[in-house]
Chain A
Amino acid sequence: MTALQRTLTVVLLNLTLAASLTAADDRVQFNRDVRPILSDHCFACHGFDQKKREAGLRLDVAEGAYADLDGHRAVVPERLDDSELWRRVISDDFDEVMPPEDFGKPLSSEQKDVLKRWIEQGAEYQQHWSFVVPQKPDVPDIDGATNPIDAFLQKRLQAEGLTASELADRTTLIRRVTLDLTGLPPTIAEVDAFLADKSSDAYGKLVERLQERVTYGEHMARYWLDLARYADTHGLHLDNERSMWPYRDWVVRAINDNLPFDEFTRWQLAGDLLHEPTRDQLVASGFNRCNVSTSEGGSIAEEWIYRYAVDRTTTAIEVWMGLTAGCAVCHDHKFDPLSMHDYYSMYAFFHSAADPAMDGNKIDTPPILKLTRPEDEQRLKELDQKIAIVESRITELVTAYEYTDPTTQSPQPTEQTIETVWFEDGFPASTNPEATGAPLKIVSKPDGQVFSGNSAISRTASNAIGQDFYHGGAEFTVPKNGRLFAWCYLDPNDTPDTIMLQFHVGGWNRRVVWGNVDRIPWGKPDTPEKFHMGELPAVGEWVRLEIDPTKLNLKAGTKIGGYAFTQFGGTVNWDRLGVVTTTNPTTDPAWSFAVWKQQNQGKRNNDLPEGLRQLVRGKQADQWTPEEADRVFHFWLKTFYGGLRDEIGLLEAEKTPFDREKSDIEKAAPITMVMADLPQSRESFVMLSGAYNRPGGKVARGVPAFLPQLAAKPADRDYNRLDLADWLVSGQHPLTARVTVNRIWQQFFGTGLVKTSWDFGSQGESPSHPELLDWLATQLVDDGWDMKKFVRRIVTSHAYRQSSRVTPELLERDPENRLLARGPRYRLDAEVLRDQALFVSGLLVPTVGGKGVKPYQPPNIWEPVGFGNSNTRYYKQDSGDALYRRSLYTFLKRTAPPPFMASFDAPNREQSCARRGRSNTPLQALQLMNDIQHVEAAREFASRILKEGGESAEERIRWGWRVVTSRQPVAEELAVVKRTLDRYHDRYAADADAAAQLIAYGESRADSELAPAELAAYTLVANLLLNLDEAVSRN
């Protein structure tokens, strides 16, 4: 056969199929037969778009086609000769013929014939099929077809004179369905159990088991995340990290919990608008925050507010309505009745989103939700209780305190010295004292030197630094005019070289030192870090050491969170540390409430909490109610009063660790971006030519006129996204259910019943099985949008379970398998290929959820493209478990996606994607053969083969083959692999270095029990098995 003959054959065969797909009876149907022709060849100039309409003629509606235009009527039903359209179509006059030659889309003779017959038969118009609410058709009565899906399919097959294939064998079937439902292959044990289960519902039970696995949701979620354009970076310019993964994990959970699709829709489009939304509902609303965003310097805010709203609108229309709304951004849709006004009415639902035009290059562009873990929630509750207990003790202390204002005392007190003790007999009870050197030693009279109270510290440090200290658990405040003091006793028989006191103010950074200044090396000399006080004090007696706090840069009000008694060498006893201050209580606001009131009256005091601040500032003290006066007074006692400060300080210090833990938990809580609207809606306009700065007519929130209308508008508010969501899932929407079932169908059969799963408009393809599509759509609604049930319906059908074997005749008849006379067969997705390799090797770490991980990636994927300041410029590969997580959890940087995803057609999530391609390229081959993660997986798989596969080479090959394909190899296959294995055995036995290199590839270590040459040989065999066409495809 020559090339030309072959071409002709192919073309002819294709024509046969095209004819057979449109098929059966003679009567022309507008939607099926005529609309595609008009849409493709005429609507661009004679369609819905007013602006581009030529000669005032529109052919998309009957009124337009029948209209009398200057004595001509384009279409006169049943009267071919009077129909101007026909005259123009068959004209051979260059100026008259339609479509015009320069339009470049001439009609074929078949198409002309369709138009001719249509006019002759009455030129009936139908509304476009997908805009008509589906009515549930009767299920055809077909012998043996228990699943309605098969009844519809077989009716068609019978009409075509074809038959469905026999069921696939059970090993093929379990591999197919396990991969399709969980994204992972079955284990040998699972295959054996299934083969052994002879019960009639063995398959049904298998499906149910698979749907119960958490891996079900992980796998199914991927498809939705393609639609939602989920990723871990903002996507534009710097392309910095964003925290959105709780949304990804919610999708997995929602699918596993089988959240009905109507709820799934409401939560995502309007979770934030639900009544008292749950955390999950808010997380789900992040669907509308998955769009790309920018923070590029110089950007103009209105432009980006506009673009984000356009992205959200277009995405919602594509995902739920299967319409390509993008055209109507700039002009009325040429082919579908979607006007700009319709588009911008829907856009108005999204145009008031509260997120900013500039994402700030932040991980947490508002609005966000912080998600604490359930176990942390419990802990937070406990902490709140503990904090509350301490606070109630403070309140008790304050309310029970008998206070007399010094100004009211008689006689009035004069200036007095007030000593506050921080250490006496021991460290504060709430602290955990620590020591350098021997453990803390407390001596009491009469065994040792004590200055006051019952006991003192005694420490001996022989020729080394020794110290006793605490940090945390108690906090002291430096008072005004205060002087620090401490008492020490130096042993005359064992004098230290140096003594030191240290104070903790956010760190150990305040020190005073006596004696040899160099002995203790900490701190910069002559600064508050190390202030030299002079020679050692007298030995053999108690000496009071006094320190001016200003030398240590300690100001009134500074909080001291710890102190240390430190020495170098010798024996030192320490006792009674504190602060002394001189004040006149009758004029000091820390002692007299009357004075404080007087000083603060009418002023803004930022130390006061909201509420009290306004009260003190805005209302004369003598006008306070008794209750108000009490609140101010108690707050003063608690916060400012010198007589309680240290007692309360101790209590506050008890609280400090709880406060700190609470804030740590809150800081560690994952963040997810959520949807919210501005309190005041933006006005929305039709944007002329889709330009952000060319507003046209104002629009109100609404839906296209050619679709069912929204529910009645609530009296007290405008329509919102929840109304839009409700409208989509009302069950009366002609598109939502059809689009949804079609996409799932596409997932399991490779192609949708409507092949253009992203376009249900008139430019899209008509369904191959319209009645089946309508039956599935209406049934989904009847089933309460139960998605697991719907999936079961598909995978239990004969159509799904039949063999994918194709004969050349059938391939020619139906190359795309639209009639489903055979089972679906296609290459596995990017994620499944990687997960499968990890799974069979035993490397897969099945942890569910969490922040995106960074597995193996070749150098220079991010770096050559990343912006200088981007926080995703440098790829820092993770190690350990994170290398082996399911691909769903791989960190997705949109401007430089992971090669294992990009090479296998995974979208980069810059925009919504309803269907991935399935390319077949040499780069894929290189990756599966040579990528470190595949080679490492092959080695670990080889280890398993050696350890679990049996003793002989043959047993081992059989075992490995089964793990990958689920089936036994035939003798010839076995022989090919054995021959290859033998070759590699020889090769690596002769080259120990090569063997060592190969098995050392990857972060995990090869099993050292195994002989390197043998492991290396099996590694390449495992690599071969994982590259089999059968391994990378699902049959």
Chain B
Amino acid sequence: MARAASPRRKFLTTLAAWAVALVIFFPVLWMILTSFKTEASAVAMPPEFLSADWTFENYETVWSRSDYPRFFWNSVVISVGSTLLGLAIAIPAAWAMAFVPGKRTKDLLMWMLSTKMMPAVAVMIPLYLVFQRTGLFDTKLGLVLALMLMNLPIIIWMLYTYFKEIPGEILEAARMDGASLWNEIVYVLTPMALPGIASTMLLNIILAWNEAFWTIVLTTTKAAPLSAFIASFSAPQGLFYAKLSAASAMAILPILILGWFSQKQLVRGLTFGAVK
């Protein structure tokens, strides 16, 4: 708003906005604080804010004395793998639908989105059995495939809305100037499409990293990523609060940082371009 607000009003709204934002953020902050406390300090009553015994020990313990690095690595492989595989299949499809639209393109896009509305529990049993029989159960490859298929409609939709904004005239102009198809792809299309592909990739890594249904159903220990690991960390009963917090902080920090970088694209990505 261009209107100059009175300093008093600006002060009050700033105060209120920061208060609300801190309340929303507080659970994450409290978890991070707890992760740096000793176990005794973490459950002290009344709660200790600044007077706590601070330590890095929890991070060392979690990293060295559990299978944490394996869960972390599984998360990386599964989220990045499923996203790259999804992009490989989705880019040509979104490309074709954006630049060579047919009469049925819109119906096709709708149908793809509708597969996303199929409840995961409905396909859980067959998938569970198929995975058991084919040896995909509790393997990284199995989860890469499952999460790729789960997110494919979103990947296609996001790419479609990005590609749609590349003006077709530019392609025609390049062709008029005698650019070969190869030159057209390398020098005209790719540079224009790259930002859209990059933000699609970022958002889908986030979605796959945080997925907590298929990862719980389709793994036991070998291929379990962080989401399944934390979910099974049942009832830590007081004594392990600080370590649980440290494990949780390590599980969300990479994605939190990625997410902060991609928050602008998040809106248009997840609303399929309806809100920009």
Q: Do A and B come from one complex?
A: no
